[in-house]
Amino acid sequence: MTRTPENDPRPSARRDLDGLRIVLGLSGGIACYKSAELLRLLVKAGADVHVVMTEGARRFITPDTMQALSGHPVASDIWDAREPNGMPHINLTRGADAILVAPATADCIARLAQGRADDLLGLTCLARPWGSGAERVPLVIAPAMNREMWAHPATQRNLRQVVADGAVALGVDAGEQACGEVGDGRMLEAAQIVEELIAVLSPKPLAGVRMLITAGPTFEAIDPVRGITNLSSGKMGFSIARAAREAGAEVTLVAGPVHLDTPRGVQRIDVRSAAQMHDVVLPAAARHDVFVATAAVADWRPAALSQHKIKKDGKKVAPTFELTENADILAAVAALPQPPYCVGFAAESEKLAQHAREKRVRKKVPLIVGNLGPATFGRDDNTLLLVDAHGEQPLPADGRPLDKLALARELVREIAARLAPPR
């Protein structure tokens, strides 16, 4: 059967930059080899990308490559005869949603700091609408250079000036460099830059909000090699952390034992057991405005830990051990004298709405997010049920599964709406 949007059971591919026009500028550094992959990912995310290359960039990667990937001729000449009005720097920026310079070399950053306009890339950045109005075009730069050039006071001074003039400067990676040296200065990987660009272009309903999130399972040790845990992958909590950061929040993520990359711009604290998570969350909760308890925390732990691996030794009788109850992290945070806005998660196997309602009352929190845990643990898509004092609300409204990042963005919008003062 041919799949159509109506009968396709799979969640649709997410196109985070769909309909946006991005100007991608390349200055002359070896990191240009990453720019082809960056362009591919931007196009895959739905962006209409127009490439501007300096003469130096053309020595590292050909315009033909960038034209083939973007579907548009590459611009590099101030006096481009293809432009009817002879003004490529104006035509490129009017109607653009952002200018992304990647790589931005030390020389490029210096030129931007000085407002130089003697090549097309500098002229285009200078000519972009840069004020605070609706036509404003953000300038995002991804630095790339040798570690000594990156650390030089002149580069750092120029970078501060570019940021003061309204640009967004991304960080750099550390590691082995093309020159053979090791240190800071590598350009971020393409996927990281795309994630950062999406965050820059996202609305900021949580600007100024501090959000604390727990994610993943906990592991309660029985002996040095065994323990009690669950199937939570942590994907939903990590997606909420990324979505909250995109929405402008300052995010701290307390993660159980999972193998997931930390979202860009998020502070991560790794823990293992429920007791460790409790000891991290409780002191931190009072310093945050919102607490989202996504983690699947074990209710019980062994009362005593065997110091050595429990051996069978030919015995036919299974070992027994006593369990003791773990502290209730969500209830403890909700009971603080001045608690943050608390959002709990209920991963149930049956009677989702009933159990979520009961949990909200029992924990004394304003919002519970319910889902059928066994059906969604480890999956990339899900549906949720929001339960508050006013009733129940499916998320998304049509009940069709969304990939977890798209679902997290909807949940973050719901949280932001609940935090907003009444009009």
User: What are the residues facing 361 on neighbouring strands?
Assistant: none
Three-state secondary structure call for residue 108: helix
User: What letter does residue 263 receive in the DSSP assignment?
Assistant: P
Pairing of strands 210-215, 220-221: unpaired
The reply, when asked if residue 377 is annotated as ligand binding, is no
β pairing state of 220-221 and 227-228: antiparallel
With the C-alpha atoms ordered 360, 365, 371, 376, is the resulting torsion angle positive or negative?
negative
Distance of alpha carbon 87 from alpha carbon 124, whole angstroms: 10
Q: Is 345 annotated as a binding residue?
A: yes
Closest CA to 107 of 33, 177, 37, 28: 28
Residue of 32, 108, 125, 179 marked active site = 179
Q: Are 300 and 324 in contact (CB under 8 A)?
A: yes
Ramachandran class of 206: left when φ > 0, alpha when ψ lies in -120 to 50, beta otherwise: alpha
Q: Is 179 a catalytic residue?
A: yes
Closest CA to 324 of 284, 274, 269: 274
CB 169 within 8 A of CB 159: yes
Which are the contacts of 285, defined by CB distance < 8 A and separation ≥ 6? 212, 291, 333, 336, 339, 340
Question: What is the C-alpha separation between 379 and 382, in angstroms, rounded?
Answer: 7
Tell me how crowded residue 226 is: count the other CB atoms within 10 A of its CB: 14
Q: How many residues make up the chain in this entry?
A: 423
363 labelled as ligand-binding?
Answer: yes
Q: Which is nearest to 37 in space by CA: 130, 116, 133, 103?
A: 103
DSSP H helices, 21-177, are 32-44, 63-70, 88-93, 106-114, 120-127, 147-151, 153-164
Specify binding-site residues: 299, 309, 345, 359, 363
Task: Indicate which residues carry an active-site annotation.
Answer: 179
Binding site as annotated, residues for CTP? 299, 309, 345, 359, 363
